[in-house]
Amino acid sequence: MKNIKKSSDNEKSLLTMCWFGFYQPYATSIVHVPTQEISPNEIKEDNLIFIWDKYMKSDLLTELLKTPVPWSPAYLNRYERKWIKKEDNTFHLELIKSESGGCLGAVILITRLSKEQLKPLIYDYEKRGYYLKETNVLVGDLNLKVNTFLR
């Protein structure tokens, strides 16, 4: 690739994980090395929440939670992201059940967060109609039952 700089250890990495694109099929996910990784002894089903949307941008997630949080790339099978056109001609990203679908996202480690820090994340998903439900998520080569924001 052209014009790619190799970052040195002392440079701050601004982009750790992001989702970009507007309309399908141009929407895609890109996952970079996490700034804070989840250690193997912390990968337990009760310690993780799967996220899949704008909070895949680590700066937005950090701003919302008021602290950086360890995360790992993850994959949710049988769901896909779709842009839905609303009556006011705006488009909103939604997670739709689809037998042939799949959604790249991330699991965040919640054991290092207080309930107060988690409240804004839960509230934002709930106001869009999503609630925490347990589902199978692929984290690396582990198939885990993880809380996921679903309808």
First-residue to last-residue Cα distance in the chain: 40
Task: Provide the pLDDT confidence category of residue 136 given band limits of 50, 70 and 90.
Answer: very high
Per-residue pLDDT tens digits for 54-90: 888 788 888 999 998 888 889 999 999 888 888 898 8
CATH class of 17-150: alpha beta
Q: Note the pLDDT of residue 86.
A: 85
How far apart CA 34 and CA 10 sit, in angstroms, is 16
Average pLDDT for 114-120: 94
Mean of pLDDT over the chain: 80
Q: What is the pTM of this model?
A: 0.76
Per-residue pLDDT tens digits for 11-25: 444 334 444 444 444
Q: Where are the domains of the chain?
A: 17-150
